[in-house]
Chain A
Amino acid sequence: SQQGEEDPQALSIQEGENATMNCSYKTSINNLQWYRQNSGRGLVHLILIRSNEREKHSGRLRVTLDTSKKSSSLLITASRAADTASYFCATDAKGAQKLVFGQGTRLTINP
């Protein structure tokens, strides 16, 4: 079963705009991670945020985590065509030795 649920399922924006994707999960976690996947290839790790952190930045990426609402958001600022990909959140339920991925958000950046 998928613990993480991304929203929206698909997002199409113009180059230069900001893109926001959301992830909700069901159980307590140790950390939450965001990954990017281009066209059915391997996943690339973007950022990891631990349960005791509320916000984290990496370049044009900003991730927030609200453990009281069991939700996270990924913001990509000043989007580029190369950001076109599927984005997945992954959580590790406490006590479970595995990552559980959501179904992903398909992001399209239009030039």
Chain B
Amino acid sequence: DAGVTQSPTHLIKTRGQHVTLRCSPISGHKSVSWYQQVLGQGPQFIFQYYEKEERGRGNFPDRFSARQFPNYSSELNVNALLLGDSALYLCASSSLAGTDTQYFGPGTRLTVL
């Protein structure tokens, strides 16, 4: 079975631009969570979606938004990019909402110049 997939693998943007990151969960998983991991730190929770509804939101500005589609895939959008948004963006899926075992994708490395 395929694991969690994310696209693109790497992305370079300039300040002020916007970016869309994509995630496909493990087949049968209905929950998708997004995390930001800055170099040298642990992942920081951004959003959780379950059955297309937002179930949790971390301490991130409104420039960050996400949505989940009927097939449970998800997009993370970041507007007005700042240098500090440079990070590894991780998507994780799980079968239930909440904080049970998370299965992570390989991540999207975003560099903002």
Partner-B contacts on A (CB < 8 A): 1-2, 4, 30-31, 33, 35, 40-45, 48, 88, 90, 92, 96-104
A103 to B35 CA separation, bound complex (whole angstroms): 14
Interface of B is mostly: loop
B residues 13-57 near A (Cβ < 8 Å) are: 33, 35, 39-45, 48, 55-56
Chain A contacts of B35 at CB under 8 A? 101
Nearest-Cβ distance from residue A79 to partner chain B, whole angstroms:
22
Decide: B107 and A41 in contact? CB cutoff 8 A.
yes
Chain B contacts of A101 at CB under 8 A? 35, 42-44
- What string of 1s and 0s marks CB contacts (under 8 Å) between B53-68 and chain A? 0011011000000000
Decide: B99 and A42 in contact? CB cutoff 8 A.
no
Chain A contacts of B42 at CB under 8 A? 2, 4, 88, 90, 101-104
Nearest-Cβ distance from residue B85 to partner chain A, whole angstroms:
16
A96 to B109 CA separation, bound complex (whole angstroms): 27
A107 to B48 CA separation, bound complex (whole angstroms): 30
Query: Given A2-B42, A102-B42, A104-B42: A42 and B102 within 8 A (CB)?
Result: no
Query: Given A88-B42, A101-B43, A103-B41: A43 and B104 within 8 A (CB)?
Result: yes
Chain A contacts of B103 at CB under 8 A? 45
